């Protein structure tokens, strides 16, 4: 393969859909049957993904700096093995779950999702992951649980951004339980069939494709089931600008910029902006979750 070219840049989509093994965390894992047969998940978007290069060099991961190129430079320092996720709160089987154990029976599949940042740029990303519902069911959700809270690793010695006060660490996010159990909501452990690059949230991160990107918390070490709505980092920082729900919505502008359109990363300077779609185009699947809510008030 030529210098500077990655296999993902030159491998046709059908071929990487056919890969039987996905490397994640160093262990070869069997892909879901749908992938082995060469068909993408029924949840995958029919859009051409951004390149591996674009997805891994234009990032938001404030633990590694504020500029888009900082995570790719600085996240090399992060140790992602061993890794475990503490699952507690209103669950039947609380405890520290080893990532290797989580992945042992996780039904991994490829999900090609549109990804829309609140800053009004977007990408299409071929994630590898499994439904969050799988892990929550493994831990056993108690009847009283209504929300799911997530936390990123707190390790300032490896995460230079945590030595500053750019955010209130550790990074925290949350979902309502029905959002968390929705089949579109995944825990991703890779992209383009490779183990998750550190700058994209290795070794395991959330992806909620109908919400602004900041809800998709990276490098998760804790998942807690709660009765009340958890505190979340950006919402605490500025509740007017970053609502708890933060569903992609072209009709509710961010106080400092319009959300009606977006710039596709890598589209080139002559490409026009694209219209932003309600729920980032996933309305058919998720609109019913918000029936009866006024999304211009409860954003
Ligand atoms: N998770 C943590 N822990 N720290 C962050 O700074 N940034 C969020 C989200 N998850 C962030 C995070 C934001 S604003 C976006 S747009 C996405 O990660 C970016 O994901 P990507 O770099 O994989 O595209």
With beta carbons less than 8 A apart as the criterion, state whether 159 and 64 touch: yes
Q: Is the pLDDT of residue 2 over 80?
A: no
Cα(33)–Cα(108) distance, rounded to whole angstroms? Answer: 9
**Omega before 170 cis (within 30°)?**
yes
Q: Is the pLDDT of residue 172 over 80?
A: yes
Say if ligand 1 is within 6 A of residue 59 CB: yes
Give pLDDT, residue 101.
96
Number of independent structural domains in the chain? 1
How many angstroms separate the Cα of 49 from the Cα of each of 43, 45, 53, 123, 192? Answer: 14, 9, 11, 7, 9
24 assigned to some structural domain: yes
Q: How far is the CA of 59 from the centre of ligand 1 (A)?
A: 7
167 assigned to some structural domain: yes
The residues pairing with 30 across neighbouring beta strands, listed in sequence order, are: 21
Q: Kindly report each contact of residues 25-28 with a partner whose C-beta sits within 8 Å and lies 24 or more positions away, as own/partner.
A: 25/80, 25/81, 25/83, 25/99, 25/100, 25/103, 25/189, 25/195, 25/203, 26/81, 26/195, 27/100, 27/103
2 assigned to some structural domain: no
Residue in the block written with tokens 């892909």: 31
**Domain residue limits at 181:** 7-290
Ligand 1 atom nearest the C-alpha of 173 is: 1
Ligand 1 atom nearest the C-alpha of 170 is: 3
Cα(58)–Cα(51) distance, rounded to whole angstroms? Answer: 11
Of 211, 212, 210, whose CA–CA distance to 284 is shortest? Answer: 210
Q: Which tens digit of pLDDT belongs to each residue from 65-84?
A: 999 999 999 999 899 999 99
Ligand 1 atom nearest the C-alpha of 153 is: 3
Q: Is the pLDDT of residue 294 over 50?
A: yes
Nearest Cα residue to atom 24 of ligand 1: 59
1 assigned to some structural domain: no
Q: Could you tell me the two tokens for 11?
A: 């491998």
- CATH code assigned at 243: 3.90.420.10
Q: Is the pLDDT of residue 31 over 80?
A: no
Probe residue for ligand 1, chosen from 214, 237, 242 as the CB with the greatest number of ligand atoms within 8 Å? 214
Probe residue for ligand 1, chosen from 50, 63, 149, 216 as the CB with the greatest number of ligand atoms within 8 Å? 216
Say if ligand 1 is within 6 A of residue 109 CB: no
Say if ligand 1 is within 6 A of residue 235 CB: no
296 assigned to some structural domain: no
14 assigned to some structural domain: yes
299 assigned to some structural domain: no
Say if ligand 1 is within 6 A of residue 200 CB: yes
When comparing pLDDT for 105 and 7, which is higher?
A: 105
115 assigned to some structural domain: yes
Give pLDDT, residue 19.
38
């Amino acid at each position: 393969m030529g210098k500077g070219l990655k296999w993902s840049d030159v491998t046709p989509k059908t071929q990487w859909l056919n890969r039987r093994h996905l490397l994640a965390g160093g262990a070869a894992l069997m892909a879901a049957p749908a992938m082995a047969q060469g068909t993408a998940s029924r949840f995958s978007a029919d859009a051409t993904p951004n390149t591996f290069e674009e997805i891994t060099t234009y990032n938001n991961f404030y633990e590694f700096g504020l500029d888009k190129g900082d995570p790719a430079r600085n996240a090399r320092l992060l140790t992602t093995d061993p890794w475990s996720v503490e699952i507690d709160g209103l669950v039947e089987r609380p405890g520290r779950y080893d990532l290797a154990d989580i992945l042992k029976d996780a039904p991994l599949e490829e999900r090609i999702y549109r990804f829309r940042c609140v800053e009004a740029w977007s990408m299409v990303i071929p994630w590898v992951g499994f439904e969050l519902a799988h892990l929550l069911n493994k831990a056993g959700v108690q009847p009283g649980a209504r929300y799911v809270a997530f936390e990123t690793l707190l390790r300032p010695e490896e995460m230079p951004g945590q030595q500053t006060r750019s955010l209130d660490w550790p990074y925290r996010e949350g979902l309502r339980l029905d959002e968390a159990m929705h089949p579109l909501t995944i825990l991703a452990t890779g992209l383009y069939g490779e183990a998750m690059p550190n700058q994209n949230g290795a070794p395991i991160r959330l992806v909620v494709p109908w919400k602004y990107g900041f809800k998709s918390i990276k490098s998760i070490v804790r998942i807690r089931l709660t009765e009340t709505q958890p505190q979340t980092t950006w919402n605490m920082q500025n509740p007017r600008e970053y609502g708890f729900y933060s569903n992609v919505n072209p009709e509710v502008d961010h106080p400092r910029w319009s959300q009606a359109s977006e710039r596709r990363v890598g589209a080139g300077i002559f490409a026009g902006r694209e219209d932003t779609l309600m729920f980032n185009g996933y309305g058919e699947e998720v609109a019913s979750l918000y029936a009866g809510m006024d999304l211009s008030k409860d954003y």
